[in-house]
């Protein structure tokens, strides 16, 4: 019974946040996304993240969580878009983001050896340094 009640509260919080002013703080959006993920709703978390990004908000700490959502949904296209976003922001070589990327690709059936991942990361760092 408490699981059903908890899901009802998650839905109410989602509706509250989505129906209020779109100028919510990054902490509010982070809370909502983390809440969806903890309740086993990765699709909702991804939808909220997409909405946040369309509003021009970028929350660095959410990238590993959203990559986890992509992995659980086997959503390789979203995952690749997030990978590109991580490269643009320079977060792709962050350890947590990097391991989340490897995990996402593996769970989506695209296996990369650790050595290849390191080479990709070093190449991306070099490319960013050249710009």
pLDDT tens-digit series, residues 84-124: 888 888 887 788 888 888 888 888 887 665 556 656 666 66
Q: What are residue 55's phi and psi, to 5 degrees?
A: -85, 0
The three-state secondary structure class of 39 is coil
pLDDT in tens, 40-73: 999 999 999 998 888 888 887 889 999 999 999 9
The gap between the terminal CA atoms of the chain, to the nearest Å, is 56
What is d(CA 99, CA 19) in angstroms, rounded to the nearest whole number?
34
Q: What is the DSSP string of 75-101?
A: -HHHHHHHHHHHHHHT-TTSHHHHHHH
What are the sequence ranges of the domains in the chain?
A: 2-130
CB 26 within 8 A of CB 61: no
- Confirm whether pTM is higher than 0.85: no
CB 73 within 8 A of CB 42: yes
Residue that wins the pLDDT comparison between 16 and 4:
16
């Amino acid at each position: 019974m408490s699981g059903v009640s908890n899901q009802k509260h998650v839905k109410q919080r989602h509706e509250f946040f989505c129906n209020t002013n779109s100028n919510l703080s990054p902490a509010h959006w982070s809370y909502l996304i983390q809440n969806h993920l903890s309740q086993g709703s990765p699709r909702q978390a991804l939808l909220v993240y997409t909405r946040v990004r369309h509003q021009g908000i970028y929350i660095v700490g959410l990238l590993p969580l959203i990559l986890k959502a992509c992995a659980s949904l086997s959503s390789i296209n979203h995952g690749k878009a997030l990978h590109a976003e991580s490269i643009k922001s320079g977060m792709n070589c962050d350890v947590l983001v990097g391991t989340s990327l490897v995990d996402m690709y593996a769970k989506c059936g695209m296996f990369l050896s650790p050595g290849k991942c390191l080479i990709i990361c070093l190449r991306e760092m070099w490319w960013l340094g050249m710009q």
